[in-house]
Amino acid sequence: MKKPLISLILGVSASLAGAAPNVIRLWPEGVPGLKTDIGPEKVGGGYNSNVSEATLTMVAPAVDRPNGTAVIICPGGGYVRMSTAREGDQYANWLSTLGVTSFVLKYRMQEYGHPAPLQDVLRAVRMLRSRAAEFNINPARIGVMGSSAGGHLAASAGTLFDNPAGRTGAAMDAVSARPDFLMLMYPVISMQEPAVHAGSRAALLGAAPSAESLKLLSLEKQVTAATPPTLLIHTQEDQAVPVENSILFYQALTKAGVPAEMYLFEHGGHGMGMRDGLGTSSLWPRRAEEWMRDRGLLTQAK
């Protein structure tokens, strides 16, 4: 098994004052609703938690045969922590081999709750689109990929990109935040029974969410014809986030006439990442590559 390529991380721009060269601060003008009483961010064991400063990190710029496609990756972790190594850096390194320039999103979670994560992911899309020339990417080929609760966040970007809750009044709000495609790995989709992942709901919406917030963040109810083309990957053996989440989203996409493809595998528990030995589910990266290629996302942008 190959070692992770984290040690090969490359910098992007030396002009990013106050941060590592490959790290982009999403809120240089100040974090919306900054909380000063939650303590420092926690990092270790491949995870991040207690986040206040949302960032994008270019983990793996597409050095060989860059095709202009970019992907923002939202690691999962129930809106409590982020599995940055397994569901962030690992995916970015894989995507770089396909010529895709990849960025891992570090977003605010339970310490802030809704709408902070939504604001972070939409600002990430706006940031990359507004600086596409700097990163050698096509502003019309920016996708969002997410796993588990990160899949919920990615799907939120694809359904709530025009929602007022995702704006902060900044000038960059004028830039489109709609992703051009979504790639959802065993995503949390619904905030309502019977498919809900209760932990993600509590972390995002609190112990007693309103009926309005439950409906808004049940993303199968927010799909429209403007939702971007979507790839869904889930397994029967997922005991944490029921496979019904992906099925509900796929049904909503189909009803709205949105191009969608879904792979439901037998084996592979929740958080499977890119593990070997899980039968056909271990081949999901090949299916994802085929889907991206079929959509023209791996061809050289003109």
Nearest to 245 by CA among 209, 267, 221, 280: 221
Give yes or no for residue 7 having a pLDDT over 90: no
Flag whether 83 is in a domain.
Answer: yes
Give yes or no for residue 137 having a pLDDT over 80: yes
Flag whether 76 is in a domain.
Answer: yes
Sign of CA dihedral 104, 25, 65, 155: positive
Flag whether 14 is in a domain.
Answer: no
Give yes or no for residue 18 having a pLDDT over 80: no
Average pLDDT score over residue span 41-70: 92
Nearest to 239 by CA among 290, 298, 199: 199
Flag whether 237 is in a domain.
Answer: yes
Average pLDDT over all residues of the chain: 91
CATH code assigned at 234: 3.40.50.1820
Name the one residue in this structure whose structure tokens are 């528990």: 269
Domain total of the chain: 1
Flag whether 171 is in a domain.
Answer: yes
Give yes or no for residue 263 having a pLDDT over 60: yes
Nearest to 253 by CA among 159, 190, 170, 168: 159
Flag whether 69 is in a domain.
Answer: yes
Q: Look up the pTM and report it.
A: 0.92
pLDDT tens, position by position, 155-197: 999 999 999 999 999 999 999 999 999 999 999 999 998 999 9
Give yes or no for residue 6 having a pLDDT over 50: no
Domain residues for 80? Answer: 47-294
Flag whether 33 is in a domain.
Answer: no
> Can you name the residues that pair with 71 across neighbouring β-strands?
102, 143
- Portion of the chain with pLDDT greater than 90, in percent: 84
Flag whether 86 is in a domain.
Answer: yes
